[in-house]
Structure 1
Amino acid sequence: MSIAPTGSVEDSYRIREDGGIVRIEILTPRLPEELGEVLLGEAVLRHWASMVIDCSRVEFLSSLGLGALIRLDRQLRPTGGRLRLSGLNAHLREFFSITRLDRVLLISDDEADSSGRPRSARDG
């Protein structure tokens, strides 16, 4: 089931609900800084617990965008939910590894990894 995006970033992402998993596909090379707040609002409204964000097209992640993702993950955790990032390019993967943020956020190699057992970059 697809859901039309809302908010000021409407052309930058697409949401799908598939078998109880909420998948957000980023459609631009820059992760929108407002995305975290928009998705948090959607999560509350639609009672989403966990989300997978497909970052395979993302080439740049600002500190504001990163902060929004961390806040979103923290907001999902009290209800047992988590935020997972998938499809990060080598540069962004290295950034998450160097900053040890791969220990804060769940990271999958690709969208297929995100459908089963939780797997992070640490799982190798």
Structure 2
Amino acid sequence: MNEPQAFLDRFGAAHLSHLSALKFARAFAAAEPEPVMHYIEEAEDKLRAEGYLPGHRSSHSILRELRPGHALVRQWAGAGEVGLLRDQIQRLQKIILRAIAELRAAGKTGLANSLERELRGR
């Protein structure tokens, strides 16, 4: 650690400045967008549902207070999310190509050709 305010406590836990924690949070959100987004959505859903229970109206206020921070984290995770979407598109394209091959093998060449044209954007 080459940060003047950082230190390791007697249990080996690192204590960092707010700036370092912010850098870490941004890097983690970009590298692991899926669990980050899942955590935020789960927390928001829980607070939203709790807010409708008797005696828990404050949950909606807490949700409103957390929203700006959650929006920032969503933005940080955006770059990683784009990568996840690209991976998903490639996976779906492979599935479609396999379906096209199966259709041809089953003698449905017209349907296979039509799907292939749509896949290629023609």
TM-score by length of 1: 0.24
User: Larger % of strand: which?
Assistant: 1
Which protein has the larger Cα radius of gyration, Structure 1 or Structure 2?
2
User: Larger % of helix: which?
Assistant: 2
